[in-house]
Amino acid sequence: MMIGRPKPPPLNAAAKLNEHARTRPSVNLAPAEVPAIGIAEPGGKLVPLVIHRREPGPRDVVIEVEYCGLCHSDVHAGRGEWGAKRLPLVLGHEMVGIVSHTGAEVTDMPIGSRVGVGCLVDSCRDCEACTAGEEQFCTASVATYGARDPRTGEYTQGGYATRIVVDAGYVLRIPDALDPAAAAPLLCAGITAYSPLRHHQVGPGTRVGVLGLGGLGHMAVKLAAAMGAEVSVLTRGSAKRESALHLGASSVIDTLDAEQLHKAADSLDLLIDTVSAPHDIGLYLKTLRRDGALVQLSLPEGPMPAFDTRALVFKRLSYTGSLIGSIAETQQMLDFCAENQVKCDIELVGAEGLNEAWDRMVAADVKYRFVLDAATVGRNETQQQSEGA
């Protein structure tokens, strides 16, 4: 389900830029000055800002942002829950937009093409992780926001904005078959779920469990089902049962029901854990078959409870984690989603609704991801009211 404006018909390159110019607010700013929404003071709400983007170099791509997904990690970072960040800070690492300029050395991203930017905008390119094509594990990788940019010495600012400048090596191609708004969360939630499924070679005959059915969990269900796996959703209570089955699950296990958990013992090859609160994984290791694996995708606030390690030893189980994916794997994921008609279920919001959307995310009041319509960034209240009349 997608709430918001319907998917527009395909546009050629020139028409895309003309449409973008028509919907973008008119602002009297230098090219490097960009309207944005971000946190200006500790503990503050999201407010309008003007940020500076770097002068594009020969390998850079200038992208006019159309949509940016809202990730729960944006809330953690913006509210200082993962430690203090340098302010002002513009969040957002799930961008889809249109190429408006490329450097002289960029030959494969035509003006007017639709592209995406995820969680990384640079890395060292020389370490073992980078040379292996696993730049997400580079210890010198540059996050899309809140990280020091080695080119300029300034701190990166994210996608709650109208424009971004990114090295072409970290820009993704968005297939035409994907709705651009619904594609935005794929650049974080999509790849975070896809990478461990591929790493553990999920396919027909694999039994996959998904613990938690939020923004990340619903993508894990859709992707695993599209790969041909038999999917079970583990969730508290029965409120999400119909939703889980609609998303592609073949069964739903109520984790509050001891009998259902007992019946699920030794039934899964892989369990994807998306629960963001501290929880006892010992309960869920019992659902795994011999040589099964539990993959931790979420970053709970606070330490996880201890568990009996005999659960691992006696069935040769693995307890592991996974972190987004490489640029190449992210492109593979986008192409897979286009080929298999997999998309994120979203609710589209304007800039004026961002603070409310953050509060609703914390309350788990969204099915299943919010996406910012970047055309609303920089518009004043009078413009918004006149367009809504």
pLDDT digits (tens, 9 = 90+) for 148-191: 998 889 999 999 999 999 999 999 999 999 999 999 999 999 99
Residues 269 and 355 in one domain: no
Structural domain including 102 reads 2-188+326-388
Whether 26 shows a pLDDT value over 70: the answer reads no
User: What's phi and psi for 349, nearest 5 deg?
Assistant: -130, 155
Mean pLDDT of the 286-306 span: 93
Query: Has residue 232 got a pLDDT over 90?
Result: yes
CATH of the domain at 227: 3.40.50.720
Residues 259 and 286 in one domain: yes
Last residue of a domain, one of 265, 287, 321: 321
pLDDT score of 10: 41
Distance of CA 14 to the CA centre of its chain: 29
| Residue 213 sits in the same domain as residue 255 | yes
Query: Which amino acid appears at position 171 of this protein?
Result: V
pLDDT for position 32: 77
What CATH number is given to the structural domain containing 180?
Answer: 3.90.180.10
Are 300 and 276 in contact, with CB atoms under 8 Å apart?
A: yes
Extract the tokens encoding 273. Answer: 């854990």
Q: What is the pLDDT of residues 369-387, one digit of tens each?
A: 999 999 999 975 434 444 4
| Same structural domain, 137 and 175 | yes
28 and 96 share one domain: yes
What integer pLDDT is reported at residue 380 of this predicted model? Answer: 59
pLDDT score at 215: 93
Q: How confident is the model at residue 9 (pLDDT cuts 50, 70, 90)?
A: very low
Mean local confidence (pLDDT), 45-74: 96
Specify the DSSP class assigned to residue 253.
E
Report percent pLDDT > 90 for the chain.
84
Whether 182 and 52 share a structural domain: yes
Asked if residues 301 and 324 have their Cβ atoms less than 8 Å apart, the reply is no
Task: Judge if 245 and 279 occupy the same domain.
Answer: yes
Q: What is the per-residue pLDDT for 372?
A: 98
DSSP state for residue 53 in the 8-state scheme: P
Q: Given a cut of 50, is residue 16 above it in pLDDT?
A: no
Report pLDDT digits (tens) over 248-295. 999 999 999 999 999 999 999 999 999 988 999 999 999 999 999 999
Confidence check: pLDDT of 105 > 80: yes
Task: Check whether residue 33 and residue 92 sit in a common domain.
Answer: yes
Same structural domain, 123 and 175? yes
Task: Indicate if 314 and 334 belong to the same structural domain.
Answer: no
Are 177 and 49 members of one domain? yes
Q: What pairing do the DSSP bridges indicate for beta strands 33-39 and 346-349?
A: unpaired
Radius of gyration, alpha carbons of the chain: 21
pLDDT at 31: 57
Q: Where is pLDDT greater, at 61 or 8? A: 61
Domain C-terminal end among 270, 303, 321: 321
State how far the Cα of 386 lies from the Cα of 246, in Å rounded to an integer: 38
What's the Cα-to-Cα distance from 143 to each of 147, 170, 324, rounded to whole Å? Answer: 5, 11, 12
Query: So what's the pLDDT on residue 151?
Result: 84
How far apart, in Å, are the Cα atoms of 284 and each of 256, 280, 288, 302, 381?
12, 8, 8, 19, 49
Residues in contact with 339: Cβ distance below 8 Å, sequence separation at least 6, in sequence order: 177
Give the number of other Cβ atoms within 10 Å of residue 147's Cβ.
18
The mean predicted confidence, pLDDT, of the chain is: 90
Contact 51, 72 (CB under 8 A): no
CB atoms within 10 A of CB 85: 18
Question: What distances in angstroms separate CA 199 from CA 33, 49, 295, one per listed residue?
Answer: 41, 40, 11
Between CA 268 and CA 276, with CA 271 as vertex, the angle to 5 degrees is: 150
| Mean pLDDT within 322-340 | 98
Q: Please state the rounded mean pLDDT for residues 84-109.
A: 96
Please determine, for residue 128, whether its predicted confidence score (pLDDT) is greater than 50.
yes
Q: Which of 321, 349, 379 is the last residue of a domain?
A: 321
Which amino acid, residue 184?
A: A
Q: Which tops the pLDDT comparison, 62 or 83?
A: 62
Dist. CA 266–CA 201, nearest whole Å: 19
Per-residue pLDDT at 42: 93
**Per-residue CA distances from 56 to 91, 119, 157, 231, 361 (Å):** 21, 20, 15, 45, 34
312 and 333 share a domain?
A: no
Q: Does the pLDDT value for residue 84 go beyond 90?
A: no
Counted domains in the chain: 2
Residue 202 confidence class, pLDDT cut points 50, 70, 90: very high
